[in-house]
């Protein structure tokens, strides 16, 4: 999953839930400035930051061997 895709996924999920950046920042425990930077494509979030966002959004991070079978 490319970085931009990851960002879009998070942003889409947040907007689908009708949650503002400000609320998500509160809910997740991630600083508002950090969230803004992330969603605007700047920065390089840590695993902890992604994890916090995932918890708040009902999303999960997985790291698995790439499937070469499917195209």
CB of 36 to its own copies, least distance (A): 16
Contacts of 51 (CB under 8 A, 6+ apart): 61
d(CA 14, CA 23): 10
Interaction between residue 69 and its own copies (CB under 8 A): no
CB of 33 to its own copies, least distance (A): 17
Residues 34-53 close enough to bind DNA by CB under 7 A: 34, 36-40, 42-46, 48-49
Q: Of 17, 21, 30, which Cα lies nearest the Cα of 57? A: 17
CB of 68 to DNA, least distance (A): 25
């Amino acid at each position: 999953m490319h970085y931009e895709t990851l960002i879009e996924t998070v942003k889409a999920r947040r907007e689908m839930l009708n949650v503002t950046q400000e609320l998500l920042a509160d809910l997740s425990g991630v600083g508002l400035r950090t969230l803004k930077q992330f969603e605007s494509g700047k920065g390089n979030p840590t695993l902890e930051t992604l994890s916090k966002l995932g918890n708040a959004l009902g999303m999960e991070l997985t790291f698995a061997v790439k499937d070469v079978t499917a195209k």
